[in-house]
Amino acid sequence: MAEERKTGKARQFIGVRRCAAGYVIFDRASQRTLVQMLVVNQADDLLNTRLRDAVVDAYFEYGKALNIYR
């Protein structure tokens, strides 16, 4: 539950676009790509979603440490 709230706060600043091979994670303010993430089709959707959310949260924490996100 706390993980959901954390990802929700991160999504105010960090966007995710689904593409054919995975996800593009980008900064909403600058529209700059932070990471292009490829996922394996054989992997479970829940596993891919959890991985995506973990990457978003990691970038959010990194941005907070650099005073980019508040």
Report domain extents, the chain: 2-65
Within 8 A by CB and 6+ apart from 61, the residues are none
Q: From 26, 12, 21, 15, select the one nearest 70 (Cα to Cα).
A: 12
**Nearest residue to 2 (alpha-carbon basis) of 40, 64, 63, 57:** 57
pTM for the full predicted model: 0.81
At 10-63, the pLDDT tens digits run 989 999 999 988 999 999 999 999 999 999 888 888 999 999 999 999 999 999
